[in-house]
Amino acid sequence: MSSIDRTLHVGAPNIGDRESFHHYVDEIFDRRWLTNRGELVQEFEQKLADYLGVKHCITMCNGTVALEIAIRALDLKGEVIIPSLTFIATAHALQWQEITPVFCDIDRETYCMDPAEVEKHITPKTTAIMGVHLYSRPCDVEALQAVADKHGLKLLFDAAHAFGCSHKGTMIGNFGECEVFSFHATKFFNTFEGGAITTNNDALADKIRLMQNFGFERMDKVVYIGTNGKMNEICAAMGLTNLKDLCEFLQINKRNYEAYKEGFQNISGLKLIEFDESEHCNRQYIVVEVLDEYPLSRDKLMEKLHAQNIRVRRYFWPGCHRMEPYKSLQPNAGMMLPVTETIADRILVFPTGTAIDTNMVSKIMAECK
Ligand code: T4K
């Protein structure tokens, strides 16, 4: 019999207090108001804005549509510089609007976009830089802002991995022109599906709100091209429920991370991601680099763990530039991405969250030895 008797998934959802959720659902049914800026969405947005210390938080149906709306609201065109080591949605949100994602290499330590590399990709067509705070670790925000300012570019962030994280004491959500969160089921804080755009810019927030709701300024009056990016009341109910348990989720991820850290210390060749302990951090992904000195290749280790019901993932191998349509459109992109390619070939992500306890971490460690 395997030592793990149920399948352990990366991204198994954290689920807050069920009674609280059921209570919200009853309220929704009693009010007969299911979507279109209902009471719960408004309450949720206010609570998120308070938590993040940001002026505006506009919730969305998911993170990808939120990215698309942010890109459109900022009037981006031509080319936008992004990392390749990210979920494909970062690139697709641009390409979907016929904007070319230009892939930039990452910093060896943080795995986030390297500001020194960004400048090499700026052309007359570049309109923006979109950083990704990968695996809970903020980009070098100041350096990216300096590059953006120097070249008159807009700066925004895909913050799908960084809800509840801070940079130099300020919560992620406050940087650049705007930041975009995902509250997908697999994120440590989820609303089933969902997302949000946060900004401290009043005019941009107004535009995003219009674009999210077909461009309606008020009943019967459309002033702008828009889409349907609205969050519904059930998702807001999940968000409000999970917000109440946020501290617990954070603590559990910290506890699991510490257990992994202890375990990986005794295994040569598996290098665990590190976090700045002075900052808020969600520790959403347990990311490990499988080094040459480890006796198995990354893929062989993955196969071994899968056979034991431990569903580790290779997020984000092979990098967006090696997936379609980018692979065909930009066949030589990899030449400028040596660090990305090295990291993408080594990375393995382990399960965490409330579905995992330290006992299970020990069993996972035993399988890695
Ligand atoms: N930007 C970045 C940097 C992102 O990481 C993402 C999303 C986005 C933008 C876009 O945000 P959204 O539009 O999604 O809001 C998953 C998620 O679907 C995706 O949200 C997430 N990033 C990405 C990193 O992971 P897949 O294709 O790997 O999903 P899937 O179906 O393989 O499931 C992932 C794992 O989660 C599996 O091990 C199973 C487990 N799982 C999944 C679900 C849905 C559960 O245990 N329970 C569940 O309910 O993309």
Closest CA to 130 of 116, 342, 141, 202: 141
Average pLDDT over residues 309-337: 97
Query: Using one digit for the tens of pLDDT, what is the confidence trace for 195-216?
Result: 999 999 999 999 999 999 999 9
DSSP string across 177-220 = S-EEEE--TTSSS--SS-EEEEES-HHHHHHHHHHHBTTEEETT
280 DSSP assignment: -
Buried b (16+ CB within 10 A) or exposed e, 21-30: beebbeebee
What is the distance between the alpha carbons of residues 147 and 122, in angstroms, rounded to a whole number?
A: 10
What is the distance between the alpha carbons of residues 101 and 79, in angstroms, rounded to a whole number?
A: 6
Going by CA atoms, what residue is nearest to atom 44 of ligand 1?
A: 185
Ligand 1: which of 184, 242, 356 to mutate, judged by most atoms within 8 Å of the beta carbon? 184
The percent of residues in the chain predicted with pLDDT above 70, rounded, is: 99
> Rounded to two decimals, what is the model's pTM?
0.97
* Atom number of ligand 1 nearest to Cα 65: 13
For the chain, report the end-to-end CA distance as a whole number of angstroms.
18
229 Cβ below 6 A of ligand 1:
no
What is the distance between the alpha carbons of residues 207 and 226, in angstroms, rounded to a whole number?
A: 10
CB 155 within 8 A of CB 144: yes
What is the distance between the alpha carbons of residues 196 and 231, in angstroms, rounded to a whole number?
A: 9
State in words which class domain 18-244 has: alpha beta
Q: Pairing mode, if any, of strands 216-218 and 221-222? A: antiparallel
**Superfamily grouping for domain 245-368:** Aspartate Aminotransferase, domain 1 (3.90.1150.10)
What is the distance between the alpha carbons of residues 167 and 178, in angstroms, rounded to a whole number?
A: 15
* Atom number of ligand 1 nearest to Cα 10: 38
CB 63 within 8 A of CB 184: yes
Neighbours of 244 (CB within 10 A): 13
Show me where the domains of the chain are located.
18-244, 245-368
Looking at the predicted structure, is the pLDDT value of residue 182 above 90? yes
Q: Is the dihedral of CA 266, 271, 272, 274 positive or negative?
A: positive
Going by CA atoms, what residue is nearest to atom 23 of ligand 1?
A: 87
* Atom number of ligand 1 nearest to Cα 93: 9
Going by CA atoms, what residue is nearest to atom 45 of ligand 1?
A: 12
63 DSSP assignment: H
What is the distance between the alpha carbons of residues 163 and 239, in angstroms, rounded to a whole number?
A: 13
Q: How far is the CA of 68 from the centre of ligand 1 (A)?
A: 17
Going by CA atoms, what residue is nearest to atom 22 of ligand 1?
A: 87
CB 178 within 8 A of CB 198: yes
Q: How far is the CA of 12 from the centre of ligand 1 (A)?
A: 10
* Atom number of ligand 1 nearest to Cα 67: 9
Query: Using one digit for the tens of pLDDT, what is the confidence trace for 345-356?
Result: 999 999 999 999
62 Cβ below 6 A of ligand 1:
yes
Q: How far is the CA of 184 from the centre of ligand 1 (A)?
A: 7
Split at pLDDT 50, 70, 90, the class of 3 is low
| Residue 235, amino acid | C
* Atom number of ligand 1 nearest to Cα 193: 15
Average pLDDT over residues 160-179: 98
> Residue 327: phi, psi to the nearest 5?
-55, -40
Query: Using one digit for the tens of pLDDT, what is the confidence trace for 124-150?
Result: 999 999 999 999 999 999 999 999 999
Q: How far is the CA of 260 from the centre of ligand 1 (A)?
A: 22
Q: Which residues contact 108 (CB under 8 A, 6 or more apart)?
A: 339, 343
195 Cβ below 6 A of ligand 1:
yes
Query: Using one digit for the tens of pLDDT, what is the confidence trace for 255-269?
Result: 999 999 999 999 999
Can you tell me whether residue 173 is helix, strand or coil? coil
Query: Using one digit for the tens of pLDDT, what is the confidence trace for 93-113?
Result: 999 999 999 999 999 999 999
pLDDT at site 1: 39
